[in-house]
Amino acid sequence: MIPTAHLPLPTIFSADGASATSPALVQPALTPVAVTSTILDAKALVRTLRRMADEIVELNNGTEGLVIVGIQRRGVQLAARIVALIAEREKVAIPLGALDITLYRDDLQTVGPRPVVGPTLIPVDIAGKHVVIVDDVLYTGRTVRAALDELADFGRPRRIALAVLIDRGGRELPIAPDVVGKKTEVKPGQRVDVLIEEIDGQDAVVLA
């Protein structure tokens, strides 16, 4: 048996027929580089949230009995901005709540033995109110289903509506948004990242 250290290098032939045994001629496999494209820049995000705020008021026929609740994490920051935009235009204060749906997920066993749970805050009695749930990206619908289950523990609203910044399709449950910032087609292997100034240091929505 020939010792491994003395095995001859494989012969490599070039296009002109010359041969070489130099390892430098063997090219390593290239690592794929992630490519991103911008769906919404900072200014477009502001315009989109302003339009969503107006649509929420129209959907509710005003602001009477309106409660806006964001889903942790980025849905809460988006909900807060929508509330501020409504307050600016309508000169009213809209109750703002937050939902952490971690313990209501139907895939909790995949999250880990010690899932990180954020605060849930519903500042008013929602019985008989018009509640709008706000989330950043709508995908399978399972996050919204969990939010509906948790919200039911706080009372029975007159109506529940859903507002999402991005609808990327791919639903696994029969859930549809009432207010949509932007619909975008997402191919297999792609994802939508929503970046928020309060958390990420910048405002943008990118396709990665």
Q: List the chain domain ranges.
A: 30-207
Q: How many residues does the chain have?
A: 208
Q: What is the pLDDT of residue 35?
A: 67
Give the residue carrying structure tokens 């709508």.
138
CB atoms within 10 A of CB 132: 26
CB atoms within 10 A of CB 158: 11
Q: What is the pLDDT of residue 30?
A: 53
For domain 30-207, the question of CATH label 3.40.50.2020 is answered with: yes
| 58 sits in which H/E element | helix 42-59
In this prediction, the residues of the chain whose per-residue pLDDT falls under 50 are 1-7, 9-15, 18-26, 111, 115
Q: What is the pLDDT of residue 103?
A: 84
Nearest to 162 by CA among 142, 181, 177: 177
Q: What is the pLDDT of residue 207?
A: 94
Q: What is the pLDDT of residue 36?
A: 82
**Residues 76 and 70 sit within 8 Å (Cβ to Cβ):** yes
CB atoms within 10 A of CB 11: 8
Q: What is the pLDDT of residue 14?
A: 46
Specify the pTM: 0.79
Q: What is the pLDDT of residue 73?
A: 87
Q: What is the pLDDT of residue 155?
A: 95
Q: CA 40, CA 42: separation in Å to the nearest integer?
A: 7
Which segments within the chain are labelled E, that is strand? 12-13, 19-20, 37-40, 66-71, 96-99, 130-138, 159-167, 179-183, 192-195, 204-207
| 203 sits in which H/E element | none
The three-class DSSP label of residue 194 is strand
Q: What is the pLDDT of residue 148?
A: 96
Q: What is the pLDDT of residue 175?
A: 96
User: Half-sphere exposure of residue 49, counting CA atoms within 13 Å on the CB side?
Assistant: 26
**Residues 62 and 91 sit within 8 Å (Cβ to Cβ):** no
Q: Which residues pair with 133 in a beta bridge?
A: 69, 162
Q: What is the pLDDT of residue 29?
A: 52
Q: What is the pLDDT of residue 188?
A: 85
